Amino acid sequence: MSKPSQFSLKEGAWIGGTPYRVVRPLGLGGMGEVYEVDHTRTGTRRAIKVLRDAKDVSGNAAVRLTREGRALAVIDHPHVVRVFEIGAIADGRPYFAMQLLEGTTLRGLLARERKLAPARALRLMLQALAGLQAVHEHGIVHRDVKPTNLFVCRGEMVKVLDFGVAKLLYGATMSPSTAEGLVLGTMRYMAPEQLSGAPVSCATDVYASALVLFELIAGRHAFQGPKGSEASVVARLREVAPRLSSVADVPLPAAFDDVMARALDRNPAKRYQTAAAFAEALRDSWGTRVVIERVPRPSHLPRKVDLDWTSPSEGEDTAEATRVWCPERRVEPEMRPDAMLRLGMVASICSLVLGSIAVTVAIAGALSHAGPRSRIELPQAPAGHLTGAPR
């Protein structure tokens, strides 16, 4: 946890230009700060991510942070962290308000338990794949799927977090900060095409998801030996991935081993092309040996998302904001009632989405004018608290 003195906003302080008061700082990253806040009009707790430095309000960091918020705001899925509002605080720094997490990341779970039983690992990853499928249906590739960005709430409901390096598949013009050839993401979970700066696709997220599942079951990264360094892991990412059955200390179905091998193929064209296809193959490979909730398939989702935003002009009054309503949210029609019940009971969560290695967004698109001090408001979230650590 970062020291309170490193944060720009103090505990108990009202955040000018917003209805929020700081409860406590949660995490600090390369371009943003995350706080637990109190919504003074409703008395509910949320989390906000705000740009660290006011000097960057007209720079790429401000655009990246706002596009991350917009990417999350348009996705309504029980396994994706939810954003309620996007705007700018009194000094012009952009922010977005989101759910407040109660639980831990998969990284925290691994730190505590080292590895998970295959059935439990599958249940968790099928939820993550459901969230990723919804993300892909919106035309977005996450590009940074890893244990730190998969949050486990009470009842072991998984939420996909951190869209700071996400990329639009279509519908926007490439900007200089997201040009082809740049390597963005966390290297130890990159697919070979991502590592080399080649175009990415949904299959890129499938590869990273398979690496995470491998680690959950084996207790170590697929390309890491017993004493392997970070550098050695990255150096081996372009090699053929080992069979999970060769390193796991529990028996696994041969069909499951085959599914994992296909998901980790170096050639993206040979992998499962969607998160849903990978999830179905995983489930089918276990047959009746383990009961795993089927991944809900997205329905009636928009096929593209506009993440463009114009940062506020200097010298303008930030106390009043122009509000723009987001698209109407829909409940997944095929979501099981018990899953919806768990969603209703789960405490509000916070995505501690702070960039470290990859602080550059790759959601491309030309900026479009959204009006000074724009703010997007969506329905309120229930209260909760965060116990996970920032990456």
The residues annotated with a catalytic role in the active site are: 144
Residue owning tokens 């407040």 = 100
Instruction: Count other Cβ atoms within 10 Å, centred on residue 229.
Output: 10
CA 383 – CA 100 distance, rounded (Å): 7
Burial class (CB in 10 A: 0-12, 13-18, 19+), 357: middle
Please answer whether residues 386 and 100 qualify as being in contact, where contact means their C-beta atoms are separated by less than 8 angstroms: yes
At a CB cut-off of 8 Å and minimum separation 6, what does 194 contact?
143, 183, 184, 185, 200, 204
Q: To the nearest 10°, the Cα dihedral for 317, 33, 47, 76? A: 90
Rounded Cα gap, residues 165 and 211, in angstroms: 18
* Residue 368 in tokens: 């479009």
End-to-end CA separation in angstroms for the chain: 9
- The strand pair at 150-153 and 167-168 is best described as unpaired
Neighbours of 88 (CB within 10 A): 25
CA distance 286 to 293: 12
> In the chain, what's the furthest Cα-to-Cα distance?
65
